[in-house]
Amino acid sequence: MSMTPEKAGLIAEENFKKGYNCAQAVFCTFAERLGLSEQEAMRISQPFGGGMCRLRETCGTVSGMFLALGLLEGSNDPSDKKAKDEIYAHGQELAARFTKLNGSIICKELLGFVPIKEVADAAASTSPVSEARTEEYYKKRPCPKLCACAAEIFQTYLNEHGITK
């Protein structure tokens, strides 16, 4: 079930261009490997798009990586501190790789939005209404390339750690 990082990146970018949100585009790239149907993966990851429900916080592509990481390496034992610490370390490693390439893991920073100081501005920039996917939308957004980047990072991580689930 292994693929090259480049192939994972292409799939994630194409997913986004088909209308998936950023989290879905990355997470669904690995759906089969995670033992999920495409429909299950889309539902699970949908609220993480747009920096968590379009709040412009943690980039959905990073959330997509973290969701996949949890399904592949997460523990279901709440008392297993070692497992919790390990998954946090691995998640931080993925976030650091993403930050090194893109400068941030924060959606509003990646999109070039000015930090929000007023409540009225906050409401306007975090509207729950998604934008129409037009040619202009794709010209002004780095999202397709960020999807590719995150999927490539995650596939590289899987290859490096010998994770073949």
Report the alpha-carbon distance of residue 13 to residue 11 in Å, rounded. 6
Confidence (pLDDT) at 118: 45
Reference 62, options 127, 153, 132, 1; nearest CA is 153
Confidence (pLDDT) at 112: 86
CB 22 within 8 A of CB 50: yes
Report the alpha-carbon distance of residue 50 to residue 127 in Å, rounded. 10
Confidence (pLDDT) at 114: 54
Confidence (pLDDT) at 101: 97
Q: Map tokens 């980047």 to a residue.
A: 149
CB 17 within 8 A of CB 144: yes
DSSP assignment of 128-144: SSPPP--HHHHHH--HH
Confidence (pLDDT) at 113: 79
The stretches in the chain having pLDDT less than 70 are: 1, 114-126, 138
Tell me which amino acid residue 138 is.
Y
Which contacts of 33-39 are long-range, i.e. CB under 8 A and separated by 24 or more positions?
33/1, 33/72, 33/165, 34/68, 34/71, 34/72, 34/165, 35/71, 36/71
Report the alpha-carbon distance of residue 88 to residue 126 in Å, rounded. 28
Strand, helix or coil for residue 35: coil
Confidence (pLDDT) at 1: 57
The b/e string for 31-44 (b: 16+ C-beta within 10 A; e otherwise) is bebbebeeeebbeb
Confidence (pLDDT) at 25: 98
Report pLDDT digits (tens) over 72-87.
999 999 999 999 999 9
Confidence (pLDDT) at 88: 97
Confidence (pLDDT) at 138: 66
